Amino acid sequence: MTTWVLLLLVLLASSVKGSGLIEKGKQLAVSWYNKALNILPKFSMRALLTRFFHFDNNVFFILYKRNCDPKRIVVGDIESLSNSCLNPNVKTKILIHGWLSAENNYYSDLMKKAYLEAHDYNVIAVDWSWYSYNFYTIARFSIDYVAPEIAKFVEFILGAGIDPDDIHILGHSLGAHIAGLAGYEMKINVSRITGMDPAMPLIFGDSSHRLDATDAQFVDIIHTSKYTLGVYEAYGHADFYPNGGGPLQPGCGLEFGICTHSRSYRYFIESIHNEKGFMAVRCDGWWNFTHQNCSNEYAYMGEGVSHLARGKFYLRTATKPPYALGDIWWRTNNIDESMDFPHASLSATMFSALTQNESFNSPTIENYRSHPNL
């Protein structure tokens, strides 16, 4: 009950306009929230997980390529690698889903379709649903065991000729922290890790326990549900805060849950087809952005971000697909978000995929009992 009271206080505070004092108050409330969660029996939970779960055999890697059937690659199994369509001469995208999800649900499915429609990349979907389809506490403390399995997989495909400079790991929610922990475990830094609204609940401790800028050569993060499901702190080289980073996103109404949380990957998916659609400005806070009190530095949020980008970046989006507003907001600062804006063409398939399921009901364990990996 105390946790939910703290969350309510944070949400109420986030709706108040004001000075930096309000912002400091919100950050203090979040700090109290995490300290309250920190009293949970962390080590007992890890002992329980170690006792009852076999972690080495329940993280799966499925390769998707154009004109090839999906193929599972098993770490250490050279035959599974040689029988796949893995191409060491193209970029490799590794997708990590979040809680109550799998490699064929929402995030991973939309992301792999977008990439394969735009490029003939190696797209590898990680399936850790054996742990993610569980109570959040169990899923949260499973990530410390899932991440090393991903690190082993990356090192395995490096042995097949994949260049670490061509590897991009993308994770949503808890998957973002798994990506970071995997990067932390590796002996060599991959080119890029993208965190899409990294999860906040039960994430505490130093940078070795979460996504951090040291986990890859370049780390970019998109924040869409600050103070609720996602973290607010800037953990990457470049942190993007569309519409202030939340806690609500335009078009989600008062839905603080999946709609807002999922916007992070929906924005990114659109950027795969429109790399310069989400122009963001480096700024010291949302208030300064809305009052045009920012620098002249900008970066493109999503797929097309420059690896030289550093700092916090802010931007606005539309309320429904296509979300990208280009640089119109910055040039006019007077936008009717119901207007149509220039954007790269999305195929009918991707536009339909981005539009459908825009409003979700909160998932429950029962929704997923039929999953083949359970």
User: Annotated catalytic sites, by residue?
Assistant: 173, 197, 261
Helix (H, G, I), strand (E, B), or coil: what is residue 130? helix
Q: Is 43 left (phi over 0), alpha (psi -120 to 50) or beta?
A: alpha
Cα→Cα distances 216→110, 117, 183, 189, Å: 24, 26, 6, 5
* Bridging pattern class, strands 71-72 and 92-96: unpaired
- C-alpha span between 259 and 224 (Å, rounded): 10
- C-alpha closest to that of 306 among 331, 327, 276, 342: 276
Residue type at position 248: L
Instruction: Report how far residue 251's alpha carbon sits from residue 226's, in angstroms, rounded to the nearest whole number.
Output: 16
CA 36 from centre of chain? 25
Dihedrals phi, psi of 240, to nearest 5 degrees: -110, 135
What CA–CA distance (Å, rounded) separates 111 from 120?
13
**Tokens at 243, concatenated:** 């519409």
Residue type at position 213: A
Between the two ends of the chain, the Cα-to-Cα distance in Å is 31
Q: Which amino acid is at 182?
A: A
